Amino acid sequence: MPSRSRGVYRWVSTHYGADPLHLLALIACFALAGYAAGRVVAAGILAGFLVWFVGAAIIHDLLLYPLYSLADIVVQRRPWHRRRPPSGPVQWPPLVNYLRVPAALSGLLLLVWFPLILRFAEHNYRKASGLDTSPYLGRWLLVTGVLFAGSALAYAIRLRRDRSSSGSRTRLRPPRPGMPP
Protein backbone atom coordinates (compact mmCIF):
# COMPACT_ATOMS: atom_id res chain seq x y z
CA MET A 1 0.00 0.00 0.00
CA PRO A 2 2.80 2.53 0.70
CA SER A 3 4.12 2.10 -2.85
CA ARG A 4 0.65 2.87 -4.23
CA SER A 5 0.41 6.08 -2.16
CA ARG A 6 3.89 7.08 -3.36
CA GLY A 7 2.69 6.52 -6.91
CA VAL A 8 -0.36 8.71 -6.37
CA TYR A 9 1.85 11.36 -4.74
CA ARG A 10 4.23 11.27 -7.72
CA TRP A 11 1.34 11.38 -10.22
CA VAL A 12 -0.25 14.43 -8.53
CA SER A 13 3.15 16.14 -8.28
CA THR A 14 3.83 15.50 -11.95
CA HIS A 15 0.43 16.61 -13.26
CA TYR A 16 -0.15 19.48 -10.81
CA GLY A 17 3.42 20.76 -10.95
CA ALA A 18 3.89 21.18 -7.20
CA ASP A 19 3.60 19.28 -3.96
CA PRO A 20 0.10 17.84 -3.28
CA LEU A 21 0.09 19.62 0.10
CA HIS A 22 0.32 22.88 -1.83
CA LEU A 23 -2.81 21.89 -3.74
CA LEU A 24 -4.64 21.02 -0.49
CA ALA A 25 -3.64 24.34 1.08
CA LEU A 26 -4.81 26.21 -2.02
CA ILE A 27 -8.15 24.40 -2.00
CA ALA A 28 -8.57 25.22 1.71
CA CYS A 29 -7.81 28.91 1.06
CA PHE A 30 -10.34 29.07 -1.78
CA ALA A 31 -12.93 27.33 0.39
CA LEU A 32 -12.37 29.85 3.20
CA ALA A 33 -12.55 32.79 0.77
CA GLY A 34 -15.75 31.36 -0.73
CA TYR A 35 -17.27 30.96 2.71
CA ALA A 36 -16.38 34.56 3.61
CA ALA A 37 -17.83 35.84 0.31
CA GLY A 38 -21.01 33.87 0.96
CA ARG A 39 -21.33 35.40 4.43
CA VAL A 40 -20.83 38.91 2.99
CA VAL A 41 -23.53 38.31 0.35
CA ALA A 42 -25.89 36.78 2.94
CA ALA A 43 -25.43 39.78 5.23
CA GLY A 44 -26.34 42.13 2.37
CA ILE A 45 -23.17 44.22 2.61
CA LEU A 46 -21.58 43.27 -0.70
CA ALA A 47 -21.42 46.84 -2.06
CA GLY A 48 -19.79 48.21 1.10
CA PHE A 49 -17.37 45.29 1.19
CA LEU A 50 -16.34 45.81 -2.45
CA VAL A 51 -15.80 49.54 -1.86
CA TRP A 52 -13.68 48.77 1.21
CA PHE A 53 -11.73 46.00 -0.55
CA VAL A 54 -10.96 48.02 -3.70
CA GLY A 55 -10.18 51.12 -1.64
CA ALA A 56 -7.83 49.18 0.60
CA ALA A 57 -6.06 47.68 -2.42
CA ILE A 58 -5.69 51.08 -4.09
CA ILE A 59 -4.53 52.83 -0.91
CA HIS A 60 -2.03 50.07 -0.21
CA ASP A 61 -0.66 49.73 -3.74
CA LEU A 62 -0.54 53.41 -4.66
CA LEU A 63 0.26 55.04 -1.32
CA LEU A 64 1.42 52.74 1.47
CA TYR A 65 3.66 50.35 -0.51
CA PRO A 66 5.77 53.15 -2.03
CA LEU A 67 6.03 54.85 1.38
CA TYR A 68 7.26 51.86 3.32
CA SER A 69 9.48 50.76 0.44
CA LEU A 70 11.09 54.20 0.45
CA ALA A 71 11.54 54.04 4.23
CA ASP A 72 13.19 50.64 3.88
CA ILE A 73 15.55 51.93 1.18
CA VAL A 74 16.53 54.87 3.40
CA VAL A 75 17.27 52.53 6.30
CA GLN A 76 19.22 50.11 4.11
CA ARG A 77 21.38 52.85 2.52
CA ARG A 78 22.19 54.90 5.59
CA PRO A 79 25.70 56.39 5.38
CA TRP A 80 27.03 54.54 8.44
CA HIS A 81 25.99 51.19 6.97
CA ARG A 82 29.13 49.99 5.19
CA ARG A 83 30.31 46.42 4.83
CA ARG A 84 33.53 45.44 6.60
CA PRO A 85 35.74 42.77 5.10
CA PRO A 86 35.27 39.34 6.68
CA SER A 87 38.77 39.38 8.19
CA GLY A 88 37.90 42.25 10.58
CA PRO A 89 36.39 41.93 14.06
CA VAL A 90 33.03 40.24 14.50
CA GLN A 91 30.20 42.30 13.02
CA TRP A 92 27.05 43.33 14.79
CA PRO A 93 24.10 41.47 13.31
CA PRO A 94 22.00 43.62 10.97
CA LEU A 95 19.51 45.64 12.99
CA VAL A 96 17.04 46.42 10.23
CA ASN A 97 14.88 43.29 10.58
CA TYR A 98 14.70 43.74 14.33
CA LEU A 99 13.10 47.13 13.63
CA ARG A 100 11.15 46.18 10.51
CA VAL A 101 9.07 43.38 12.05
CA PRO A 102 7.69 45.20 15.12
CA ALA A 103 7.13 48.38 13.08
CA ALA A 104 5.18 46.41 10.46
CA LEU A 105 3.06 44.63 13.08
CA SER A 106 2.40 47.87 14.93
CA GLY A 107 1.49 49.61 11.69
CA LEU A 108 -0.86 46.77 10.77
CA LEU A 109 -2.60 47.05 14.14
CA LEU A 110 -2.90 50.81 13.66
CA LEU A 111 -4.29 50.34 10.16
CA VAL A 112 -6.94 47.89 11.33
CA TRP A 113 -7.94 49.69 14.53
CA PHE A 114 -7.24 53.35 13.69
CA PRO A 115 -10.86 54.54 14.00
CA LEU A 116 -10.92 53.34 17.60
CA ILE A 117 -7.30 54.25 18.43
CA LEU A 118 -7.67 57.79 17.10
CA ARG A 119 -11.26 58.07 18.45
CA PHE A 120 -12.86 58.67 15.05
CA ALA A 121 -15.63 56.15 15.80
CA GLU A 122 -16.44 57.26 19.35
CA HIS A 123 -20.15 57.88 18.73
CA ASN A 124 -20.82 54.69 16.75
CA TYR A 125 -18.79 52.54 19.13
CA ARG A 126 -20.57 53.95 22.20
CA LYS A 127 -23.93 53.45 20.50
CA ALA A 128 -23.14 49.84 19.56
CA SER A 129 -21.37 48.70 22.72
CA GLY A 130 -22.06 51.24 25.44
CA LEU A 131 -18.29 51.68 25.94
CA ASP A 132 -15.90 54.46 25.02
CA THR A 133 -12.77 54.20 22.88
CA SER A 134 -10.36 55.74 25.40
CA PRO A 135 -8.44 52.51 26.23
CA TYR A 136 -7.52 51.76 22.60
CA LEU A 137 -4.70 54.30 22.24
CA GLY A 138 -3.01 53.19 25.46
CA ARG A 139 -3.38 49.53 24.59
CA TRP A 140 -1.99 50.04 21.08
CA LEU A 141 0.98 51.92 22.54
CA LEU A 142 1.48 49.12 25.08
CA VAL A 143 1.38 46.43 22.38
CA THR A 144 3.79 48.47 20.25
CA GLY A 145 6.16 48.81 23.20
CA VAL A 146 5.98 45.08 23.91
CA LEU A 147 6.68 44.30 20.23
CA PHE A 148 9.77 46.53 20.18
CA ALA A 149 10.93 45.23 23.59
CA GLY A 150 10.58 41.65 22.36
CA SER A 151 12.53 42.54 19.25
CA ALA A 152 15.24 44.17 21.36
CA LEU A 153 15.40 41.04 23.51
CA ALA A 154 15.73 38.87 20.40
CA TYR A 155 18.53 41.14 19.15
CA ALA A 156 20.32 40.91 22.52
CA ILE A 157 20.04 37.11 22.46
CA ARG A 158 21.48 37.08 18.95
CA LEU A 159 24.35 39.34 20.04
CA ARG A 160 25.11 37.06 22.98
CA ARG A 161 24.93 33.95 20.81
CA ASP A 162 27.21 35.50 18.19
CA ARG A 163 29.67 36.59 20.86
CA SER A 164 29.76 33.16 22.47
CA SER A 165 30.15 31.40 19.13
CA SER A 166 32.96 33.73 18.00
CA GLY A 167 35.22 32.63 20.85
CA SER A 168 37.15 34.63 23.40
CA ARG A 169 39.73 35.97 20.90
CA THR A 170 37.39 38.40 19.13
CA ARG A 171 35.20 41.02 20.67
CA LEU A 172 31.90 42.21 19.32
CA ARG A 173 32.37 45.93 18.85
CA PRO A 174 29.89 48.53 17.67
CA PRO A 175 31.02 50.80 14.84
CA ARG A 176 32.68 54.03 16.00
CA PRO A 177 30.73 57.22 15.21
CA GLY A 178 31.91 58.81 11.99
CA MET A 179 33.84 55.70 10.91
CA PRO A 180 32.58 53.05 8.54
CA PRO A 181 32.25 49.70 10.31
Would you say residue 157 has pLDDT above 80? yes
**Residue 78 belongs to some domain of the structure:** no
Average pLDDT over residues 84-92: 58
Give the pLDDT of residue 9. Answer: 85
**Residue 104 belongs to some domain of the structure:** yes
Would you say residue 80 has pLDDT above 60? no
Number of domains in the chain: 2
Would you say residue 84 has pLDDT above 80? no
Give the pLDDT of residue 161. Answer: 86
Give the pLDDT of residue 36. Answer: 94
C-alpha span between 125 and 135 (Å, rounded): 13
Amino acid 8 reads V
Domain that holds residue 144: 87-172
C-alpha span between 143 and 136 (Å, rounded): 10
Contact assessment for residue 153 and residue 159, using Cβ atoms and an 8 Å cutoff: no
Would you say residue 32 has pLDDT above 90? yes
**Residue 80 belongs to some domain of the structure:** no
Neighbours of 159 (CB within 10 A): 14
Say yes or no: 161 and 106 in one domain. yes
**Residue 144 belongs to some domain of the structure:** yes
Say yes or no: 35 and 98 in one domain. no
Would you say residue 174 has pLDDT above 70? no
Q: CB-based contacts of 72: which residues, under 8 Å, 6+ apart?
A: 96, 100
Would you say residue 178 has pLDDT above 90? no
**Residue 51 belongs to some domain of the structure:** no
**What's the pTM value of the predicted model, to 2 decimals?**
0.59
**Residue 168 belongs to some domain of the structure:** yes
Average pLDDT over residues 13-41: 92
Say yes or no: 167 and 112 in one domain. yes
Neighbours of 117 (CB within 10 A): 20
Would you say residue 167 has pLDDT above 70? no
pLDDT digits (tens, 9 = 90+) for 140-152: 999 999 999 999 9
**Residue 121 belongs to some domain of the structure:** yes
Would you say residue 153 has pLDDT above 60? yes
C-alpha span between 143 and 102 (Å, rounded): 10
**Residue 108 belongs to some domain of the structure:** yes
Buried-exposed string 28-59: b where 16+ CB fall within 10 A, e elsewhere: eeeeeeeeeeeebeeeeeeeeeeeeeeeeeee
DSSP type of residue 168: S
C-alpha span between 10 and 20 (Å, rounded): 9
Give the pLDDT of residue 140. Answer: 96
91 or 29, higher pLDDT: 29
Say yes or no: 39 and 92 in one domain. no
pLDDT digits (tens, 9 = 90+) for 91-103: 677 788 898 899 9
C-alpha span between 110 and 141 (Å, rounded): 10
Say yes or no: 37 and 106 in one domain. no
